[in-house]
Structure 1
């Protein structure tokens, strides 16, 4: 069944500008500029006023109409990124061999001694993402950035690089896991 017209409204906070041209979205805020393209989704953006944008789809089926909410979430995450930023905390878990975590000068992470292995693993941070070791907690990483997709993908790459191979994962729970998700600028 075709839906004649579906629409969602997106509120723009103070101090943030959103520019949309040919479904290329540019969000500018106090923490920087983010760009994203949603050219693959047939959606219309209508500027209601300076504080609100309407996302509109005409004659879409059920799956196409569901993509309106996805695009709204993408733009909303971009707005949160340029105002507050995103922060993931990861903890190294080990039973016997503690992994050595080292942040290199180029921003990549080097993991040594995982499950007692001699081989070291190097994970590069995606653009706009910084990795640092926590000063308060040993074995904790703090991953920060403005783009949620890049921050979460960097955390996923770190977690997937530390999987016990050829071992029973019910017994060998060693690895580096996401312990906390939040924003860089904390809400009061």
Structure 2
């Protein structure tokens, strides 16, 4: 949690020795053994500085909202550091009752074919350059150093098989997120 002393809010994040953090304008890039994660902090109402082995976040104000902004930025930076050290993995289960669903990766898109016997495949986008999608028998594994890209890719897959005009309690076919893990 960010510290608050004499109406000044300051958030600090420790940088491990195996990680390199660089600031270029409003962009902060974190580089580790798994890869590099870049994030734009332009719209953040705070000053972010990188000094030695720590990142300091100082919001412009001293209200409760500013403390929330500081803690959010701190959480984002911590997940960036965790991502380049260990990585993130989301597991998506392929569920079908009658028509066997086949999932294929082509470039930056995932094609879900034969969903409810539909002729046209449903398409989900893969977010980020470092995000890898691996298809096993009944699972789709999404791995990468960026938590935002990995989770958004998993959400895109889940949303592409959403059923709109039928009772979702009866028609359970689709791809569903069932596990979120650290590590690749």
Could you state the TM-score of these two structures normalised by the residue count of structure 1? 0.85
- Number of residue pairs aligned between Structure 1 and Structure 2: 178
Whole-Å Cα distance in 1 between the matches of residues 153 and 50 of structure 2? 34
Contact 2:134 2:142 in 1 (8 A): yes
Q: Which residue of 1 aligns with 2:156?
A: 157
In the TM superposition, residue 165 of structure 1 has moved relative to its aligned partner by 2.5
Q: Give 5+ residue unaligned stretches, structure 2.
A: 1-5
For 2:28 and 2:117, the matched residues in 1 are separated by 46
**Equivalent in 74, 77, 80 of residue 75 of structure 1:** 77
State the shift of 1:123 in Å: 2.0
Identify the match of residue 46 of structure 2 among 35, 43, 46: 43
Alpha-carbon separation, structure 2, partners of 1:29 and 1:81: 8
Aligned to 1:94: 96
Structure 1: gaps (5+ residues): none
CA distance in 2, matches of 1:120, 1:46: 46
Deviation at 1:151, TM superposition (A): 0.8
Residues 45 and 126 (structure 1), Cα distance of their counterparts in 2 relative to 1, 3 Å cut: closer
Q: Is the 8 A contact 2:60 2:66 kept in 1?
A: no
Q: TM-score, normalised by structure 2?
A: 0.87
Mark the CA change 1:174 to 1:146 in structure 2 (over 3 Å): closer, same or farther: same
Query: Are the counterparts in 1 of residues 22 and 50 from structure 2 also a CA contact under 8 Å?
Result: no
